[in-house]
Amino acid sequence: MIQIVENDNGTFTFHLKTENNIILLQGAIFSSKEEIEAIIKTITTSLHDQGIFERKTATTGKFLFNLKSLEGKVIGTSQLYSSEAGMENGIKNFKTSMILNTKL
**What is the residue extent of each domain of the chain?**
2-100
Tell me which fold the domain 2-100 belongs to.
PH-domain like (2.30.29)
What pLDDT is attached to residue 104?
43
Q: How far apart are CA 56 and CA 99, in angstroms?
A: 24
Predicted TM-score of the model (pTM): 0.85
SS3 of 9, please?
A: coil
What pLDDT is attached to residue 102?
59
What pLDDT is attached to residue 97?
83
* Distance linking the first and last C-alpha atoms of the chain: 9
Helix count (H) and strand count (E) of the chain? Answer: 2, 6
Q: How far apart are CA 16 and CA 7, in angstroms?
A: 16
